[in-house]
Amino acid sequence: MVLILTTLGKGGTGRTTLAIALAKRLAAQGQRTLLFSQEAGPGLGLLLGQAIGPTPTELSPRFSALQSQSTSLIQQAWEQLKQREAQYLRDPFFKNVYGEELSILPGMDAALAMNALREYAQAGQYDAIVYDGRSGPETLRTLGSLEVMSWYVRRFSQVIADSSVYQSIQPFFQPVAAAVLNSGWSSPASGDPMAESTGLLEMGRSALGDGQRTIAYLVTTGDDLAIAQAQHLWGSAQQVGLNVGGVLVNGSGGNGLGNSSESGSESPQAWADRFPALPLSLLPQRSGDDWQALVDALPDPTLPSGGPTPLTLDLANNQARIFLPGFDKSQVKLTQYNQEITIEAGDQRRNIALPAPLKGRSVTGAKFQDQYLILSFQG
């Protein structure tokens, strides 16, 4: 089981520095660790002391790093697509289009990074991957793409299957498919590309929602804007099903005091009040090339995080509890469609498929209490 860590915070709070420190700590604990960074520019190489390319560079025993490049990723993904097309179609469409020709469209970066992250996680070369996205919101969009794509596959495949047009052509679909494709796609055993894609998405969603496999750390300084952004990212992470394992207060000196002329000193209790129920780590400022003090002050990423889970089901009482820190009742909207509920919080929307015991039951009550949206279902 590969452990995936990431950091969420406002720009300038030291997310990349702490991602490197987390990777160093894991490697020192004997974990084969990959730092997967989407940060553009020379900053990562300067922090690590050498240039980093789009393929893993070994920096020390058990510690490798790469700096993702979308142009390289799209070329790899395109070649994989052409191989799959040739496998399933007798007359491939894209055989004369080459990955070197393709440009990156908006939104493709996240999908390409997520696919590459998945491949490294499945390759068996690493015990842990530290993912360093371009920003907190961008990281959430990348990791949350699994949830979004999974919903689109579930929802639209069902819409098509229920349509009168599909019902009319369904008896003719299998023989036509058999004539066009090298093999049928009626079942996963026959190499159904849709079933394979759905299976990959479901595995990804399962890993994302497992707090022992995928953990995010909020990064902040004593600055009021950094604190507010970390609190907002905490709630936003819950909306994509990502477990937040703790708060890393960067540059606090390790003495419980935040360094900010705007917000003043913060006691450990004040920090705990800002991020209730989350483990707190007050970290010293990194000094030059000396990483050891910072690495030693980090929490152990291999231990249970202890943070609240995004979704808790209480089937005995027909209830679901959705953790939404950083939002209030006026910012949350609930709708229900058939066997799913949709939660809107701020500018994010999450579709939650109900488990079998709650399917088909209507929501009879909803209340916002202690940062939880508590839903009661018909008994």
How do residues 161-174 score in pLDDT, each as one tens digit? 666 655 666 665 55
Contact 311, 322 (CB under 8 A): yes
Least confident residue range of 88-97, 178-187, 304-313: 178-187
Spatial CA neighbour of 372 closest among 177, 185, 178, 238:
238
Mean pLDDT of 28-43: 92
Q: What per-residue confidence (pLDDT) applies to 97?
A: 64
Give the model confidence (pLDDT) of 245-281 as tens digits.
999 999 865 444 344 434 345 677 788 888 988 999 9
Least confident residue range of 20-24, 40-44, 182-186, 323-327: 182-186
User: Taking the model in full, what pTM does it have?
Assistant: 0.77
Distances (CA, A) of 24 to 14, 59, 235, 291: 15, 10, 28, 9
| R_g (Cα) of the chain, nearest Å | 23
Q: What per-residue confidence (pLDDT) applies to 308?
A: 83
Amino acid at 166: Y
Mean pLDDT of 44-52: 93
Query: Which domains, and CATH codes, for the chain?
Result: 1-307 (3.40.50.300), 311-377 (2.60.40.790)
E strand or H helix that includes residue 139: helix 136-162
Distance CA 300, CA 22 (A): 9
Neighbours of 189 (CB within 10 A): 7
Distance CA 19, CA 8 (A): 10
Q: What per-residue confidence (pLDDT) applies to 354?
A: 82
What percentage of the chain exceeds 90 in pLDDT?
A: 32
Q: What per-residue confidence (pLDDT) applies to 360?
A: 80
Distance CA 364, CA 379 (A): 9
Amino acid at 25: R
What is the average pLDDT value for the chain, to the nearest integer?
79
Structure tokens at 33: 């660790």
Least confident residue range of 80-94, 216-230, 286-300, 347-361: 80-94
Instruction: Decide which of 98 and 364 is more confident.
Output: 364
Give the model confidence (pLDDT) of 176-216 as tens digits.
556 555 544 444 444 555 455 555 445 545 555 554 688 99
> What sign does the dihedral 222-225-227-230 (CA atoms) show?
negative
Residue 175 has pLDDT above 70, yes or no: no
Pairing status of strand 319-323 against strand 348-353? unpaired
